[in-house]
Amino acid sequence: MDPNTLAWTVLLLPLLVAAAILLGLKRWSELSALLSTGSALLALIFCILLAGGGESAVETKSYPWIDLGRDLEIAIGFKIDGLSRGMMLIVSSIGFLVHLFSLGYMKDDKGKSRYFAGLSLFLFSMTGIVLANNFAMMFIFWELVGVSSYILIGHWYEKASAADAAKKAFLVNRIGDFGFMAGILLVWVLTGSIYFDEIAKAVGGVANAQLLNIAVICVFCGAVGKSAQVPLHVWLPDAMEGPTPVSALIHAATMVAAGVFMLARVAFLVEAAELAAHVIAWTGAITALLAALMALQQNDIKRILAYSTLSQLGYMVMAQGIGHGGSDAGMFHLYTHAFFKALLFLGSGAVIYACHHEQDIWKMGGLKRKLPITFWTFALGTAALIAVPFTSGFWSKEAILEAALHQKMTGPYVLAMIVAFLTPFYMTRLVIVAFFGKARTKDADHAHEVGPVMWIPLAVLAVMAVLSAYSFVSGPLLARGHADVGHLFGHIGPTAILSLVGLVLGVGAAVYFYKGRDKDPICIPLFRDKFKIDEFYLVLVRVFQDAVARGLKFADRFVIDPLVVRFPAMTALAAGSVFRVFNVGNVQTYAYLFGLAAVAVVLYLVL
């Protein structure tokens, strides 16, 4: 099949499956689950074929959809290059493994058909973002991803916390998307196009550097929302209310990576806007540090992983603002992180499932003996996350740090090195408390290993947690011009040595503080309460709501009531009083009035 046909097949297959489930197969949950999983497997096969279809970039024919005039047209077209090929492999491979894991995890869920339809809809939406060759198409699928996320986070909508988390994610992302839309319009004004290839050619001729910086910062707002960067990061931890496989697919591997992917797609814009690039780099570095500090004091296994995701996304975003080599390094880390973080989330799902849906790590313990496969795969995922040498996470994180040092981004570099110490600390804490020692509850004591349909995806992802870095640089799946990161293999510089020192100190400190403990010896309320950012936003929302309410009350009392309610009523009453004088019930009076009216009309016409 040619690339165009493969791309259309990969895009439309999950949409057709989602429609079939919702419109006809919803009653047969097992059939719906198998159909959705089968389509995910087919999509993976087609993506592998697409990735192996040659090294050159392919721009497929665009099909016009909406003509807005003034040379602005929304069209559907694909850009198939190394960037999109690699991202498609991430989306499809992890999508299939999450489907497979969900067959076991969601087997008794009453909304199973709706769940698998939501997964298929999400894969359709994410595929559209990755394949888009223009901003308009990307934005449309960007919004569809938001809708899909809302559906999946709120899957257990009967739980108030899940429903609230879905609404929070949807609304917070809309804030970032408003800036994204404004940025797209500014880019069109400056370059005269919304197509990525045409923008890349035109951006060098943009004379207004200040407006270009504003445009890129506005575009970056979309990534701030979707990739959960400060200050719009607050939705991601709450999104853990959704089913754990959803967390693995959407909030670790794909959706939250969409913002980073978008920045990589428009790297030529970021490189042309120096101020915006610094804003991007600093935002990512600050997010990485704050999220790592928050993770230190979390007890919910999924929330610890959620904050680690925020922190690693901060690394990736920082890389996009670094400059030459940074974008490749950021995508390198996105690629490796997708596999080991999906592994960790699915591993946490296996732990939660085995412990009868307990999520507090302090109510676990001793799970290493009870869940040997889950433990060892989780340990490999943790090793990759904390950048143990020769795991995939080690190479990709070092690529970012080396790029930051090379480009003399001293501030972001220092913050990133602090995170290199904090990450081993909080992840070692999680592993020690949950898997070592004695079982602290009956649920943990009675836990047993999950079935093959759940541990097979863990085993596959564990292999990728070690090997994905090598396939990125040297394999046929994604290696399309990543020479900037390839030189790292076999090269240990000062940055790597500092990282190793941070790794040893972080792991050692966690073992010292948490080995053999039944409660947390460290209490830092500010970190536990997430720097009170949620509470601050709640106050802002309440102040805004109160101000709006007072304004509406004033308008209702002094504008609407007098002009819309009382004035028409008083007019009607006055008119009624006037006409009541003539309503006497006397025929002679009516004839007299009719005559006067006729005379008046004649005089008006004559004169």
Query: How confident is the model at residue 481, as a pLDDT?
Result: 44
Across-strand partners of 58? 80
CB 396 within 8 A of CB 337: yes
Query: How confident is the model at residue 69, as a pLDDT?
Result: 67
* pLDDT over threshold 90, residue 291: yes
Query: How confident is the model at residue 574, as a pLDDT?
Result: 86
Give the residue, 562 or 260, on which the prediction is more confident. Answer: 260
d(C-alpha 84, C-alpha 265), whole Å: 9
Q: Lowest mean pLDDT: which of 59-63, 81-85, 89-93? A: 59-63
Q: Lowest mean pLDDT: which of 35-44, 78-87, 374-383? A: 78-87
* pLDDT over threshold 50, residue 479: no
d(C-alpha 95, C-alpha 118), whole Å: 12
* pLDDT over threshold 90, residue 192: no
Across-strand partners of 73? 67
Query: How confident is the model at residue 476, as a pLDDT?
Result: 41
**Helices 258-265 and 301-320 sit at what angle, rounded to 10 degrees?**
10
d(C-alpha 272, C-alpha 257), whole Å: 23
**Integer distance in angstroms from the first to the last C-alpha of the chain?**
86
Q: Lowest mean pLDDT: which of 40-49, 182-191, 481-490? A: 481-490
Write down the mean pLDDT value for the chain: 87
Q: Which of 532, 372, 535, 529 is nearest to 448 (CA)?
A: 372
pTM for the full predicted model: 0.86
**What is the percent of the chain with per-residue pLDDT over 70, rounded to a whole number?**
92
d(C-alpha 242, C-alpha 228), whole Å: 17
E-only strand ranges, 135-240: none
* pLDDT over threshold 80, residue 26: no
